[in-house]
């Protein structure tokens, strides 16, 4: 029987609030067994870009990343947020290492082809170095991933944090029974975005397509759910979306089924 691995993605709105990040990390360090943390940070990047006088453009929850935005992203995701989270884990006596895709050739991607939209410096993941990740887990070091991948030619690319989490979970499924958790400020997928109590407990792909067509699912939830279904169809044993209560096992949330 394979050992259980938990891959947890924490969204940008949770990490930009010090109190919610601290509370999440308290729960995270209590989790038993091997675990991986992936973080976003989209809101913080938008805020810092604004301070530098750069405008941000998002299409369907994905950032248009020109050269200036890529510099901001490298500083904010790969520096400020990633290193703070690694330090906070150390402060809680959990050894951790902050990574972007270039470190250990761990997440290799390809520049997204221009079809209708030119996303700029945005990558689609091609390879995850699961052996390197396993070697960290074997030393009880928690890998903390930012939403940055790297091409074979050594170019850093902005990569949706939800895709980083799902591709890592898919790759690690060859070695571990992998559980994927998406923690955000919402309790799960909602039928009414205004009503926190409208959480869909179980979401299958048929219902998901209907909700996209009727525009109940929009913005950042679009790439998130695309990644959830990719994961469940490609070997990840369970995929759940919720707020930080998700780590406590007893909260209301959305479970993805094929």
Ligand X SMILES: Nc1ncnc2c1ncn2[C@@H]1O[C@H](COP(=O)(O)OP(=O)(O)O)[C@@H](O)[C@H]1O
Ligand Y SMILES: CC(=O)N[C@@H](CCC(=O)OP(=O)(O)O)C(=O)O
Interaction between residue 217 and ligand X (CB under 6 A): yes
DSSP string, 44-84: HHHHHHHHTT----EETTEE-B-HHHHHHHHHIIIIIIHHH
Footprint (CB under 6 A) of ligand Y, residues 4-33: 11-12
Q: How many residues does the chain have?
A: 258
Smaller CB separation from ligand X, 102 or 241: 241
* Residue 220 engages ligand X in binding (rule: CB under 6 A): yes
Site for ligand Y in 96-155 (CB under 6 A): 122, 147
Give the residue with the Cβ less far from ligand X, 44 or 137: 44
Q: Applying CB under 6 A, which of residues 100, 168, 189, 203 lies at the interface with ligand X?
A: 189
Site residue total, ligand X (CB under 6 A): 19
**Residue 217 binds which of ligand X, ligand Y, none (CB < 5-8 A, kind-dependent):** ligand X
- Name residues whose C-beta falls within 8 Å of residue 6's C-beta, 6 or more positions apart in sequence: 31, 33, 34, 35, 36, 178, 179, 181
Q: Residues 6 or more apart from 19 whose CB is under 8 A from it?
A: none
Interacting residues with ligand Y between 44 and 63 (CB under 6 A): 45, 62-63
Residue among 50 and 131 whose Cβ is closer to ligand X: 50
224 binds ligand X (CB under 6 A): yes
The verdict on 11 binding ligand X (CB under 6 A) reads yes
242 binds ligand Y per the rule CB under 6 A: no
| Strand-by-strand arrangement of the 148-150 sheet | 123-128, 107-111, 148-150, 156-158
Decide: is 12 part of the binding site for ligand X (CB under 6 A). yes
> What is the footprint of ligand Y within residues 173-212 (CB under 6 A)?
none
CB of 177 to ligand Y, least distance (A): 25
The answer to whether residues 256 and 241 touch, using CB atoms and an 8 Å cutoff, is yes
Instruction: Answer for the pair 107, 164: CB distance below 8 angstroms, yes or no.
Output: yes
Pick from 7, 24, 40, 167 the residue near ligand Y by CB under 6 A.
40
Q: How far is the CB of 16 from ligand X (least distance, A)?
A: 9
DSSP E strands, the chain? 4-10, 35-39, 58-59, 62-63, 96-99, 107-111, 123-128, 142-145, 148-150, 156-158, 177-183, 202-203, 238-242, 254-256
Residues found near ligand Y in the complex (CB under 6 A): 11-12, 40-42, 45, 62-63, 73, 122, 147, 158-161, 220
């Amino acid at each position: 029987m394979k050992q259980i691995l938990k891959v947890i993605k924490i969204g940008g709105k949770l990490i930009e609030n010090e109190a919610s990040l601290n509370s999440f990390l308290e729960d995270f360090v209590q989790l038993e067994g091997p675990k991986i943390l992936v973080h976003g940070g989209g809101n913080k990047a938008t805020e810092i870009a604004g301070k530098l006088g750069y405008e941000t453009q998002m299409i369907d929850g994905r950032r248009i990343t020109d050269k200036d935005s890529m510099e901001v992203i490298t500083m904010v995701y790969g520096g400020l947020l990633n290193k703070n989270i690694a330090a906070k884990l150390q402060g809680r006596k959990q050894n951790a290492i902050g990574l972007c895709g270039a470190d250990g050739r761990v997440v290799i991607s390809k520049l997204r082809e221009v079809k209708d939209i030119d996303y700029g410096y945005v990558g689609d993941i091609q390879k995850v170095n699961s052996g390197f990740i396993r070697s960290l887990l074997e030393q009880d070091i928690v890998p903390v991933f930012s939403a940055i991948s790297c091409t074979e030619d050594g170019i850093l690319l902005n990569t949706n944090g939800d895709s980083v989490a799902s591709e890592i979970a898919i790759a690690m499924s060859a070695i571990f029974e992998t559980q994927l958790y998406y923690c955000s400020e919402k309790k799960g997928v909602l039928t009414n975005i205004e009503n926190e109590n409208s959480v869909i407990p179980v979401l299958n792909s048929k219902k998901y397509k209907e909700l996209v067509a009727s525009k109940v699912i929009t913005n950042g939830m679009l790439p998130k759910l695309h990644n959830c279904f990719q994961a469940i169809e490609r070997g990840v044993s369970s995929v759940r979306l919720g707020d930080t209560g998700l780590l406590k096992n007893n909260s209301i949330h959305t479970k993805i089924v094929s």
